[in-house]
Amino acid sequence: MVAVEMVALAGAAALATPAPLLLSSIAPRDSSIGTSDFISELPHCATPCVEQFCSLSNQTCICGPDKSAVDHCVLASCTMQEAIFTRNATEITCAAPVRDRRMKFNVMIVAITCVTLPIVTARLVYKQFFSISKRLNTEDWTIVLAILLGLPSVALTIFGLTAHGLGTDLWGLSSADLVAFGRSFYAIQVIYILLMLLVKLTLTFFYLNIFSGHRVRILLWGTIAFHIMAAAAFGIALIFQCLPISYQWNKYNYINDPSLEGHCINVNAGAWANSAVSVASDIWLLAIPLSQLYKLQLHWKKKLGAAIMLFTGVIVTVVSFLRLASVKDYATTSNPTWDQWDIVWWSTIELEVGFICTCLPTMRLILVRMAPKAFGSSQSTNSSYGANMHRLESNSTMHTHREAYDDVTLHDVPLPKRSSAPASSSVERVPKAASQIAVSSLREELSTTGSSIGTKPGDAWQTHASSLMAKHPTTWRGSV
């Protein structure tokens, strides 16, 4: 899956008319053609490039080390159709072998999808049926949309891109295959932009559920607006970068046909800009929660645990950097089915890793439910990371979000001294919303610790309630 990075050439000349003889009918793909046939087939814009380095009658030179230099000259002087036509003719003349790594790509995308889909499904099932709120939040619905869009894109990548040449050399393909490849490539780019937008929105909505500070929420809403505007800008540039739009895929057709003429803007700078913005936004989404974590008065072990979970976002950033490196040859290739394999490869991994990272907080809750002793926080401590409430406590003041239920809890409230008042003392509760969240937290903690506290369920509830009231004096007023 790739972003706004279709191959387009600056200063392209008008479409020349090659001879009517088609290369596909000259010779089989595994044999060479004569030098005279090669010369007769060259577009007019490509002939000076060949003559600059080799004699047109010297096939050894044409197939030698200067072949790449000729290719760069053709890319600067001819249209995409002419460049592909020339590259095809050259490689057939030189009897170049056809490389193929399509199976490698198909195995990767199927394997990583088989890992991602169960993780996302587990997240949604837990949120809907086993969490305290028993409902999906905004970030959950966002990831649902991403999955509904992502699954068809997997099928399109396999049956549209690799089936029509992604991962092999174009001189082993028919003109029809190249056009089908271009059409699928165009569609998958649009899907990529939408999927990356949804992944980033999922993370941002998740942070909105955790952090209640006024300033950080303004930053997060601004981040959401930026993501939407950037996706819209790059999406529009992608859709209309070639006119007519059909030229997006017809430019891969090396058969001369005046009805296939068109032109594209130079999008090389746009390709770099899109990748750079993606990397910068990944770093920004990592910096926001870490900056809030730094301000908390937590024990260093709890800060470390929270940081480790948040730092999983670094994996996405690293993949984004790797994808950025694959952009360098993106707009300067006459062998797109082979050279664009890298960017599709890293873009696919980037998206799948993004899906997984958005689900990690919920996966921890699932593990706590399954093995509380191994993954849960000690019940003897007075603050926990990973309990089922979204709330951030800072400067000894607790801010509770209205949908504060699942995924993460960060505490920095100074621990109150154990009260010596009798457990039967009256308790004055704060307003209804806060008390409901406290009760929800109590139920969730009991569900992960079992009924080992007290001899009866009622005793366990009362004893653990007293403990929770002592832990959170800002949530419950009164003595315990």
Considering 89-93, 255-259, 375-379, the range whose residues carry the highest mean pLDDT is 89-93
Please state the pTM of the whole predicted model. 0.71
The span from the CA of 168 to the CA of 290, in Å, is 43
What is the tens place of the pLDDT at every residue in 183-200?
999 999 999 999 999 999
Tokens of 82: 């002419």
Cα three-residue angle 467-472-477, rounded to 5 degrees: 95
Q: Which of 150, 414, 377, 387 is nearest to 297 (CA)?
A: 414
More confident residue, 146 or 457: 146
Phi-psi region of 154 (alpha: psi -120 to 50; beta: other; left: phi over 0): alpha
Confidence of residue 276 (pLDDT cuts 50, 70, 90): confident
Residue 448: how many other CB atoms lie within 10 Å: 20
E strands, 413-457, in order: 427-429
Are 188 and 1 spatial neighbours (Cβ–Cβ below 8 Å)? yes
Confidence of residue 257 (pLDDT cuts 50, 70, 90): low
What is the tens place of the pLDDT at every residue in 214-251?
899 999 999 999 999 999 999 998 899 888 898 889 88
How do beta strands 242-243 and 427-429 pair? unpaired
How do beta strands 391-394 and 397-400 pair? antiparallel
CA distances from 274 to 203, 225, 231, 237, 269 (A): 19, 16, 9, 11, 9
If you compute the radius of gyration of the chain from its CA atoms, what whole number of angstroms results? Answer: 30
Burial 194-230 (b: 16+ CB within 10 A, else e): bbbbbbbbbbbbbbbbbbbeeebeebbeebbeebeeb
Q: What is the CATH number of domain 100-370?
A: 1.20.1070
Q: What share of the chain is helix, strand, coil (3-state, %, to 5)?
A: 60, 5, 35
pLDDT of residue 292: 78
